[in-house]
Structure 1
Amino acid sequence: MARSRTSLWAFVLIIAAFAAAPAQAHAAPATYTNPVSAGTVDTFPDPAIIKAKDGKWYAYGTTNPILNSKGETGEHILPTLTSTDLVHWSYAGDVFALSAKPSWWPAGTRPWAPDIRYDNNTYHLTYSLSVGGIALATSDSPAGPWTDRGLIVPTSNGCPSGTIDQAMFTDTDGSHYLYWGSYDTICAARMNADGTALAGPVTRVGHGRRMEGGFVVHRDGFYYLFYSDGGCCDGAFSGYTVKVGRSTSPLGPFTTPTGVALTDLTSKDGIVLAGSGNGWVGPGHNAIVTDLAGQDWLVYHAIPQNDPDFPPVTGANGATLNLTKRPLMIDRLDWIAGWPVVRAGAGPSAGSQAAPVTRWTVGSTFSSSADGFTGGFSWSSGRLVASSGAASSSARSVSGDVRVEGDVRGEAAGISYGPVTAWLDSASRRLVVDGAVSGSAPLPATFNYQSWHTLVLTRRGAALTVSVSADRLHDDVATVPLTLPSGFGGGRIGAVSRSGAAEVDNLGAAPLHTPVARRVDDPAAGRPLAQYSDEFDGTAPNGGWSWVRQDPAATVTGGELVRPTQAGDIALGSNSAGVLVRDAPPGSFVVETRLQFDGVRGNQQAGLVLYDNDNRFVKLAHSVLPLAGIAGSFLQQTEFTKEDTRASTNAVTSGPAFGGPAPATMWLRLLHRDGVARMATSRDGITWDWGGAWTLTRPAALKIGVIAMGGTGATARFDYVRTYAVRPA
């Protein structure tokens, strides 16, 4: 083997020395417009995505009426889409045909929320059943046919909430983990070696009102647990929001950017994606995919504000269903100061955006030929193959900040970038890098060298990082960080076999993405509007206030408006609580209060409203809500709810979203601009967590209001209500 390594190294130096001029030019930037599934399918909820070993991307969605606009009145079970660019998608069939449902499925079930992984030359697709339970299907191809492997997590499994919305993850030691749960707990457990059953204790890793859709990635030493809370699928009243916590262990504890544990009984900060009022409602249930430039993208569904609902459809379970349209969306995922956020905090995109990089500057999927790669490898059946120690290289070279990747299989298979080679050494059981720099990292004891893995070399300046994973889903099993020597100029890319048979596929290089380092500016309060404000420094509210249903217990004392919570409410038909209201200023404004609240029983709440009438308002409140599945446990929640008339049914509907933590003393803000209300909270009155937005149907009629309701026994103290102009951006 020593002679083989020496001769190969000499060959790599020769091809680097005679490389063509470096290729650095970018293609003209492509664009896309959400939803990327438009024109292909009507809806694609709960998407999962993978870059498959045939070089294409595949997406899998929840059972839904994907072709309703084409005249179909029923659903497709776990539909599949495929794409070569993450923007233009084609329908590729269903995981299960309606006529071929597994016989063991309980009556009335609809499969939900698929998750896709690749392991040991096999695609593993887990899915949940609407009646509870998690199942597995496997295939040698991302397009199927799929083999049913049965139930892998029963409904009763030690997690106190629903057994749905699962996602797998592979750790650096090769161990598989499963995350699942819904309404209102996410659980996790270690799996067996082949990922077909739970093999460790069930751990609760998150509590939150309507918390679900857990998805874990490993990055820079942290495990990031993405999840969604709020309502997923209630048309224009869906408050879905993507949030995140991180940990140094795959089983937690996970904490938010401000240090709140995901298991704490309060709502959470760490918002990754929320509605912004630009036409998209309830963005959530995410997966993550990385383009060829190394840029991450959040893949999710969202609801079109102006066309949110299907007509009644026949479900895959035979029932008549009223469903919400949730098409497939993608947006850039930025990592800023160690935390992920979509489009630097701008939220779901509307209009033309720069598209993912899905074409290499140099490289090939080898679908029909060796495509300019020459040397010791030959082309066979859509890949490069070598029967003994060999190397092949591209005709062109690359330099500068670059990302090189390739799929490899074999006992000593690898790829090269100029005078650097990265390869999988079965003899030492290590990922090895040698040439201009050298280093190594151990591979898991269970690592299968005869299964496809993706090697990635990422160069930014003098920093070179080499990693290997099975499926490019932020689950690297080995990473080698290195520093390139001064004057390193790059070179050609290539396929390598250090000994024995090797296969290399999907090999290419693209200029590395430029990361976004700064968040977009949050809204800011401008000049005070004293005529719409009250410091509560007298013995009664000032003259601008009036009551919708007088609350005789409300007093102004000690510089505060004191309101004991009432037994009534203003939710749907329960229009019995008092609302203290005053006119809102015309145009855009911010209204703020400092609230002290001691609620401990379910549904007690206090806060601000933008109020038209009892059936049309937006509420931002500190609410006490029950924790589903755990009797006697309650969550302190920042609740941001819209109530209005649903256009498709003409019925009054209410839908919640949830913001950051809700301590006993907190500051609340509502921003109103152009018919859109957006919420923010603070724990010090200085630093604000901005959350989602609701669109209002009659914004000109709104008044500013104060509420304290949902059950007697608690007291709300409002230090002031201040209204401001909005500071220009």
Structure 2
Amino acid sequence: MPPRRLLAAALAVAAVATGTTAAVAAPPPPVTTTNDISKPFADTFADPAIIQGRDGYWYAYATSDPLVSGGPFGLMHMARTKDFGSWEYLGTVFNDATKPSWAAPGSFFWAPDIRYFGGRYVMYFTVTDTAANPGGDYSIGVATAPTPAGPWTASGGPVVTPKSDGNGGWFNTIDPALLTAADGKRYLYYGGFYGGISVTEVTADGLQAVGEPTQVTVGDRYEGSYVVYRDGWYYLMASSMNCCAGPTTGYSVFAGRSKSPKGPFLDADGASMNESRVGGTTVLTQNGNKWIGPGHHAFFTDAAGQDHILYHAIDRAKPWLTNPFGINRRPMLVDRIDWIDGWPRTRAGAGPSETPQPAPTTGSGAGITAADPASGIWLATRRTGDALGGPTAQLKGAAATKQSAPGGSLRVDADVRLGNSFTTVLGGSVVASVSAHKITVVAGGKTASATIPADFDRTQWNKLSVQVVDGVVTARLSDSGLGDLYAEARLAVPKLKVKSAPVSWLGSAEVDNLTVRPVAKPVKALAPQPKPGKLLAGDEFSGPLGAGWSWVRPDANAVVANGKLSWPLQNADLVGSGNTAGLLFHQTPSTDRWIAETKLNLDLGEGDIRNYQQAGMIAYRNDDDFARLGDVSIWRTRQTEYGRELVARESDGATSYGGAAIGRSAKDLWMRLAFHKNAAGEHVYQAGTSVDGKKWVWGASWVLPAGETPRLGLFAHGEFTGANPAPVATFDYLRFYESK
């Protein structure tokens, strides 16, 4: 429909409600949540996935670890909520009779991904072992169900088959995530540290991979992928490092983006996620509170247009299930996602929350009852619907909400079965129309449109959202509202705000799960990050090491000359029982807040295997209790690892080691550790890196025990697979600054 006719239709629709609407209704009272949100029903609910069913409930799914301490391994778990404040556990996805017949008897089922398309729910999941090749040949399974609670019917074989590594083993064909893209195709992402993440097109029904896969991340860095579309970009978000190292788990989520669902995915600095010096912009990492190892996430958008990340993490004080010991206790958490300078950041970069937070917004304002939308709409016909969705609203011709929606920003979201033409009007002047071939928005005398894929099935339930916020109008058609899309029309109209008026419609559609809400106020600035103040102490290496320095296991090969400390990497280690590496410490300032900084030059090459050459900074209590920030080679990648070792089991002194990734590796790398004490007197060290000494990337924090302040110093060591002679780590200085 041309713009003028659309505007004329808008005025006609708005006239339906003139003189009949009541005052703007007050929104439902806010609900808060406190992590971990799975606590009412589970000790652990790992690798979570989520979807809103047509019954209004949000359904969450998890991997097959024991749900509670002492419980058995499951066959993946299901739970649901309507407000994220209370939960109901629904049981397992499969039982022994319904699990995939092609899985080996001892196989586990991990990392579910849930979607809705083609009139049914589709779940992808990892199968750890197939009957065809018993012994750990990972593959991706798929199951379908008429409702989000099941019953689930597994397909007769893998949607992605196991991939041999050519050496008698198998690559990690794990952690699936589906995307329906604007080209009308469906893409399945899968893979992990051994083999990398790949993407393959799948058939329209989602049950078979087609064509050749494309690798989108390097083989030794990422797993747990999830891809969403926003503002013209496909964002690949994936988890890095070890998911399951108990009290030293440093799992984190990073992102890259691309104009194509097949990549290449580049981070905010233009670095690829699929190269040796691997890129990735931080989405979520630990911040020094109780939660460590946050990752393997899902993504969803609430009724107010606020994006959220659903993920698991570990309480550092309770890292294990009591029984069986050794299984990581990974409950489910949720926090908001803020888009800052085009990148997703959890709580604006503040990371996991441990205090009460606003819950994801559910339900509707404007007098609409989401579960029975016809009751709040003039000229709507109430339909019985079906057992899954309950009553729906049939809209034909003109219709409008009985109460006015608030002015300013507004979002209208619904499950829809569309007729040939359907128009939504906000504030009497913002128009979003879905025709046979296009989705179009009109506002402020401007028009934007996007083509709907030719095979889009309007007879099935799909998601339609129309939103106005910060002068931007968007109208989006998608499968499930989980970051996927069939088409999105987006229009910028500076200073545009909708007027308080009924929401109006023209055309034909069946509507369910209808919500009308003000849009959540976008957060546009990063959370505060450490900043250095005046110089407190340090050494520029302009002469011999002075009295402020001390050694553990002195290394005579470390030499100060020409204004630098040059230290050939020792063939030594500091992890587990291999406490043979030398460490060089400098006296720290007496204040409770400071930032230590060094500049490191270390040539680790690219692309070859070097395990695990590294150098950098260390906060150290003893050989079994430290946090180590290094530029490190990990198989074929070059990464910045912020590792932690501690005694994980006092009964036998067993240690645990794990790490987080921060920023990008470079031959010349600047490093910082920002120190402060928390309210409990514990010592908190947050790590930051830079490839130019100007732009800093701040990442994970590790917490060391209260009491004597740990020492701070330098290290240079590692194994020497692939390097002879040993690389030389060169430090330009070690400085301590006041922390602002």
| TM-based fold match above 0.5 | yes
**Residues 118 and 470 in structure 1, CA contact (< 8 A), matched pair in contact too:** yes
Counterparts of 1:440 and 1:13 in 2: how far apart (Å)? 22
- Deviations along 1:412-469, one digit per CA (max 9) or x if unpaired, are 36463354664543xx333356899776432111111111011111123654321111
Identity %: 36
Secondary structure of the corresponding residue to residue 375 of structure 2: coil
The answer to whether the aligner puts 1:156 opposite 2:163 as a matched pair is yes
Q: Give the match for residue 535 of structure 2.
A: 528
Q: Give the match for residue 317 of structure 1.
A: none
- Alpha-carbon offset, residue 568 of structure 1: 1.1
Distance 1:582-1:477 versus aligned 2 partners, 3 A rule? same
- Alpha-carbon offset, residue 680 of structure 1: 0.6
Secondary structure of the corresponding residue to residue 14 of structure 1: helix
**Residues 348 and 525 in structure 2, CA contact (< 8 A), matched pair in contact too:** yes
Instruction: Identify unmatched segments of 5+ residues in structure 1.
Output: 314-320, 627-633
Distance 1:517-1:563 versus aligned 2 partners, 3 A rule? same
Q: Give the match for residue 544 of structure 1.
A: 548
Q: For this pair of structures, how many residues does the alignment match?
A: 700
Instruction: Give TM-score scaled by structure 1 length.
Output: 0.90
Distance 1:534-1:139 versus aligned 2 partners, 3 A rule? same
Counterparts of 1:690 and 1:193 in 2: how far apart (Å)? 42
- Deviations along 1:568-624, one digit per CA (max 9) or x if unpaired, are 111111111211223333433221111111234321111111122211111111111
Secondary structure of the corresponding residue to residue 73 of structure 1: coil
**Residues 293 and 313 in structure 2, CA contact (< 8 A), matched pair in contact too:** yes
Give the AA of the match of 1:638.
T
Give the AA of the match of 1:694.
W
**Residues 366 and 383 in structure 1, CA contact (< 8 A), matched pair in contact too:** no
Q: Give the match for residue 735 of structure 2.
A: 722
Q: Give the match for residue 55 of structure 2.
A: 54
Q: Which is further off, 200-209 or 128-137?
A: 200-209
1:431-510 to 2 correspondences below 5 Å: 431=439, 440-460=449-469, 463-482=472-491, 489-494=499-504, 496-498=506-508, 502-510=509-517
Q: Which is further off, 330-339 or 666-675?
A: 666-675
1:10-409 to 2 correspondences below 5 Å: 12-20=13-21, 23=24, 25-68=26-69, 72-98=70-96, 100-130=98-128, 131=136, 132-149=138-155, 150-156=157-163, 161-184=171-194, 185-207=196-218, 209-313=220-324, 322-362=326-366, 364=368, 367=371, 370-381=374-385, 382-386=390-394, 389-398=396-405, 399-409=407-417
Counterparts of 1:701 and 1:482 in 2: how far apart (Å)? 55
* Counterpart pick for 2:593 among 579, 588, 594: 588
Give the AA of the match of 2:713.
G
- Deviations along 1:283-334, one digit per CA (max 9) or x if unpaired, are 0111111111101011111101111101233xxxxxxx72111111111100
Give the AA of the match of 2:379.
G
Counterparts of 1:158 and 1:233 in 2: how far apart (Å)? 24
**Residues 433 and 439 in structure 1, CA contact (< 8 A), matched pair in contact too:** yes
Counterparts of 1:415 and 1:152 in 2: how far apart (Å)? 38
The answer to whether the aligner puts 1:700 opposite 2:703 as a matched pair is no
Secondary structure of the corresponding residue to residue 370 of structure 1: helix
Q: Give the match for residue 645 of structure 1.
A: 647
- Alpha-carbon offset, residue 22 of structure 1: 5.3
Counterparts of 1:290 and 1:726 in 2: how far apart (Å)? 37
**Residues 415 and 493 in structure 1, CA contact (< 8 A), matched pair in contact too:** no
Give the AA of the match of 1:253.
P
Give the AA of the match of 1:589.
W
- Deviations along 1:149-177, one digit per CA (max 9) or x if unpaired, are 13111111799841001100010122000
Distance 1:21-1:83 versus aligned 2 partners, 3 A rule? same
Q: Which is further off, 338-347 or 488-497?
A: 488-497
Counterparts of 2:659 and 2:442 in 1: how far apart (Å)? 55
**Residues 363 and 506 in structure 1, CA contact (< 8 A), matched pair in contact too:** no
Give the AA of the match of 1:723.
F
Counterparts of 1:489 and 1:154 in 2: how far apart (Å)? 54
Q: Which is further off, 717-726 or 20-29?
A: 20-29
Q: Which is further off, 224-233 or 405-414?
A: 405-414
**Residues 622 and 637 in structure 1, CA contact (< 8 A), matched pair in contact too:** yes
**Residues 624 and 636 in structure 1, CA contact (< 8 A), matched pair in contact too:** yes
**Residues 133 and 163 in structure 1, CA contact (< 8 A), matched pair in contact too:** yes
Counterparts of 2:640 and 2:174 in 1: how far apart (Å)? 25
Give the AA of the match of 2:581.
A
Secondary structure of the corresponding residue to residue 224 of structure 2: strand
- Alpha-carbon offset, residue 269 of structure 1: 4.2
Counterparts of 1:490 and 1:684 in 2: how far apart (Å)? 50
**Residues 610 and 702 in structure 1, CA contact (< 8 A), matched pair in contact too:** yes
Distance 1:221-1:325 versus aligned 2 partners, 3 A rule? same
- Alpha-carbon offset, residue 267 of structure 1: 4.1
* Counterpart pick for 2:663 among 656, 660, 665: 660
- Alpha-carbon offset, residue 665 of structure 1: 0.6
Aligned-residue CA RMSD in angstroms?
Answer: 2.7
Secondary structure of the corresponding residue to residue 23 of structure 1: coil
Give the AA of the match of 1:594.
K
Give the AA of the match of 1:537.
S
Secondary structure of the corresponding residue to residue 16 of structure 2: helix
Counterparts of 2:218 and 2:541 in 1: how far apart (Å)? 37
Distance 1:435-1:640 versus aligned 2 partners, 3 A rule? closer
**Residues 45 and 61 in structure 1, CA contact (< 8 A), matched pair in contact too:** yes
Instruction: Give TM-score scaled by structure 2 length.
Output: 0.89
Counterparts of 1:36 and 1:643 in 2: how far apart (Å)? 28
Q: Give the match for residue 560 of structure 2.
A: 556
- Alpha-carbon offset, residue 25 of structure 1: 4.4
**Residues 14 and 400 in structure 2, CA contact (< 8 A), matched pair in contact too:** no
Counterparts of 2:506 and 2:370 in 1: how far apart (Å)? 16
Counterparts of 1:665 and 1:366 in 2: how far apart (Å)? 56
Instruction: Identify unmatched segments of 5+ residues in structure 2.
Output: 129-135, 678-682
Secondary structure of the corresponding residue to residue 310 of structure 2: strand
Distance 1:146-1:579 versus aligned 2 partners, 3 A rule? same
**Residues 567 and 728 in structure 2, CA contact (< 8 A), matched pair in contact too:** yes
Counterparts of 2:497 and 2:49 in 1: how far apart (Å)? 42
**Residues 134 and 164 in structure 1, CA contact (< 8 A), matched pair in contact too:** yes
Secondary structure of the corresponding residue to residue 730 of structure 2: strand
Counterparts of 2:707 and 2:255 in 1: how far apart (Å)? 32
Secondary structure of the corresponding residue to residue 700 of structure 1: coil
Q: Which is further off, 644-653 or 37-46?
A: 644-653
- Deviations along 1:83-108, one digit per CA (max 9) or x if unpaired, are 11133221122111245433321132
**Residues 405 and 508 in structure 1, CA contact (< 8 A), matched pair in contact too:** yes
Give the AA of the match of 1:522.
Q
Distance 1:157-1:511 versus aligned 2 partners, 3 A rule? farther
Give the AA of the match of 2:639.
Q
- Alpha-carbon offset, residue 511 of structure 1: 0.6
